[in-house]
Amino acid sequence: MNFIRVSTSSINTKVCDISHNVSNIKKCINEALRDKSKLILFPELSVTSYSCFDMFLKRTTLEKSYEGIKEILNFSQDKDILIIVGCIFEHNNSLFNSAFIIHKGILLGIVPKTYLPNYQEFYEKRYFTEGFIKCTEVSFMGDKTYFGTDILFCYKDIKIGIEICEDLWAPIPKSSYLSINGANIICNLSASNETNFKHEYRKNLIKYHSSKINAAYLYANSSPSESTTDLVFSSYNAIYENGDLIKESDRFLFENTVCSGIIDIEYLNTSRVNNITFRDSFKYHNQDIKIINIPFDDISYGKFDRKINLNPFIYENQEKNKELFEEIFIMQKCSLEKRLSHVNSSKIILGISGGLDSTLALISSYNAFNLMHIDTKNIIAVTMPGFGTSNKTKNNAISLCKELNVTLKSIDITNSVRQHFKDINHDENIFDVTYENSQARERTQILMDLSNKEGAILLGTGDLSEIALGFSTYNGDHMSMYNINSSIPKTLIKHLLKHYYENYNVSESTKNILIDIINTPISPELLPTDKYDKIIQKTENIIGPYELHDFFLYQFLKNNASFKKIEFLALHAFKSTYPYDVIKNSLNIFIKRFFQNQFKRSAMPDGPKITEISLSPRGDFKMSSDSSYNSFID
């Protein structure tokens, strides 16, 4: 599955005290090794400190710096970890602000800083030369090594590129070219001081750049132990992966700091394969790159302690979720408004069952009609009780419609379905697929005909989870004239309904109805209830928990993960929630049903892409209806 544990570090620095700095560098290397890291990144000029100023130009500083590097080389001889430290380097009578890349006592290469800030509080051109240098062979203390910016340090699929501080802030960062030419981990040695508002900007810069280049981005910044004569540094360390924060440190720490996290190389490489813009960039920006192999003994990462989001369709931050949920409601409103405008109608028909999906479609429509200043009586909600409808769900549906002041119609389908059974000679006591699907198709026929009668569009309610699993009746609830839920998974619907009753001006009775709907077992209600009017047909007892299926859905479609990878991540994420057999069986069900039900998605109605995933055959997802799942399951 190709994971690697990496570390970034800020050290307690003494300005110009190279012995002190090297001692702390060695301590942090040992800590990273205890964490099972295979790479550790230090800040810019960490051997000397960034604040040496004119002392950089003294011969003593250069000589002592080289001795410091030699000490690190000797120290690392038996240590299977890639060490990236900042130090000065003299070449062709010029001094360069550089990164030294070390592994097991070998100096693999030296990478100079490309862009030197020389404005406001920065004056690096006073000491250093810009590092626009093609890779060349040089000598360092009698040993051959390589020097230049066009170098990647590689081990199998792991390809590491280096840039230094200002290189990231340039209009076209050096790491853009490195990543286009293969680097999937970028290491930035930085000495970026703090000012008001700068930290948030810097975090966003790293986040969005790592997303643009589909790479992991490691960032190590100098600590407040740098000189405070004019500036303050923060010791901020961060590890990002394709725009996602994997780990970050606290700021303003004087003591040594090591920040460790696990990078998913397979995910990064797969993301690039699926990013045609990234692939096209190589056509126009490919360069000759020097590849230097890293002779790691192995790439084990110790305990897998990476945090996995159980619900990848929402944020873990509740305030950000509020913005997300409002955005979803607005997107649903805009998509519905455009479709109504196009067909020159101001009415919708939808079936309302008292379940999650139809409730969200009703709430979103109600919200949209209010924003569009259309009478909510133009929302015609139809409840169609059948053989399996419980009084609880039916009453919740009716009560909610009354609370929202929409037009309510109730049409019992039992007689028409019984007549249909007679027509096709089916025994209504045989609870098979014909028994179930006949009810779903009868409901769809009623809704379609009412739509024609009212001059309305039939709004679909099926969600992304059901579409992925094919948990619908072909040409029954699978069909509509437009579906605003088609990109919204089941687990997200619960959060949206909760957000609605917590943040909108709803009555206490509306809130209680929505809470009851959220807590009702998910069911198509196509089989009869028990003698106590309790739902017997529970979807999650048949196919497994939707919490798992939505996790599988995201990993399979968004991250393109394999069965083994999804299983591994799910076992880690849900280890305290579900036993192994439930996770494994549910995953097998997901893969099988996903493949077996492509024919339904090939004929699915229009609907807006709202989350990161859509299964529309006209847009995001192309798949043959007769594809086999055999190679995709374990």
Read off the pLDDT of each residue in 462-471 and give the average, rounded to a whole number: 98
Digit-coded pLDDT (tens) for 396-445: 999 999 999 999 999 999 999 999 999 999 999 999 999 999 999 999 99
Q: Are strands 348-351 and 379-383 parallel, antiparallel or unpaired?
A: parallel
Residue 379: its H or E element: strand 379-383
E strands along 266-336, which residues? Answer: 290-293
pLDDT of residue 389: 95
Q: Sign (positive/negative) of CA torsion 51, 22, 112, 61? A: positive
Digit-coded pLDDT (tens) for 104-114: 999 999 999 99
* 446: DSSP letter: H
Rounded distance, CA 297 to CA 312, Å? Answer: 35
Strand order across the beta sheet in which 290-293 lies = 244-248, 237-241, 216-221, 185-190, 158-164, 151-155, 290-293
Q: Sign (positive/negative) of CA torsion 27, 28, 34, 36? A: negative
Strand order across the beta sheet in which 482-483 lies = 407-410, 379-383, 348-351, 457-460, 482-483
CB 363 within 8 A of CB 325: no
Digit-coded pLDDT (tens) for 155-190: 999 999 999 999 999 999 999 999 999 999 999 999
pLDDT for 328 beyond 90: yes
pLDDT of residue 235: 96
Q: What rounded mean pLDDT belongs to the chain?
A: 97
pLDDT of residue 532: 87
E strands along 78-142, which residues? Answer: 82-91, 94-103, 106-112, 136-140
Per-residue confidence band for 452, with pLDDT thresholds at 50, 70 and 90:
very high
pLDDT of residue 469: 98
pLDDT for 474 beyond 90: yes
Read off the pLDDT of each residue in 367-382 and give the average, rounded to a whole number: 97
Rounded distance, CA 464 to CA 615, Å? Answer: 8
Digit-coded pLDDT (tens) for 541-577: 999 999 999 999 999 999 999 999 999 999 999 999 9
Rounded distance, CA 577 to CA 311, Å? Answer: 13
Read off the pLDDT of each residue in 109-137 and give the average, rounded to a whole number: 96
Rounded distance, CA 236 to CA 193, Å? Answer: 10
Digit-coded pLDDT (tens) for 26-84: 999 999 999 999 999 999 999 999 999 999 999 999 999 999 999 999 999 999 999 99
CB 402 within 8 A of CB 507: no
Proportion of the chain above pLDDT 90, given as a percent: 97
pLDDT of residue 471: 96
pLDDT of residue 126: 97
Digit-coded pLDDT (tens) for 485-512: 999 999 999 999 999 999 999 999 999 9
Q: State the catalytic residues.
A: 44, 113, 165
Q: Sign (positive/negative) of CA torsion 93, 97, 103, 109? A: negative
Q: Which residues pair with 189 in a beta bridge?
A: 164, 220
Per-residue confidence band for 1, with pLDDT thresholds at 50, 70 and 90:
confident
The structure tokens listed for 428 are 């209504």
CB 327 within 8 A of CB 30: no
**Among candidate residues 134, 132, 76, the one with its CA nearest the CA of residue 108:** 76
**Among candidate residues 20, 21, 16, the one with its CA nearest the CA of residue 51:** 16
**Among candidate residues 451, 450, 440, 381, the one with its CA nearest the CA of residue 410:** 381
pLDDT for 634 beyond 90: no
pLDDT of residue 241: 98
The structure tokens listed for 544 are 């497994």
Read off the pLDDT of each residue in 136-157 and give the average, rounded to a whole number: 97
Q: Which domains does the chain have, with CATH numbers?
A: 3-293 (3.60.110.10), 318-632 (3.40.50.620)
Residue indicated by tokens 């009017």: 533
pLDDT for 584 beyond 80: yes
Proportion of the chain above pLDDT 70, given as a percent: 100
Read off the pLDDT of each residue in 344-373 and give the average, rounded to a whole number: 97
Residue indicated by tokens 């949920």: 325
The structure tokens listed for 291 are 């590849």
Rounded distance, CA 562 to CA 629, Å? Answer: 12
Higher pLDDT, 439 or 634: 439
Digit-coded pLDDT (tens) for 275-294: 999 989 988 888 899 999 99
Start-to-end CA distance of the chain, whole Å, equals 15
pLDDT for 622 beyond 90: yes
Digit-coded pLDDT (tens) for 306-319: 999 999 999 999 99
How is the chain split among helix, strand and coil, in percent rounded to 5?
40, 20, 40
pLDDT of residue 399: 98
Q: Which residue intervals of 54-140 are DSSP H helices?
A: 59-75
231 alpha carbon, distance to own chain's centre: 36
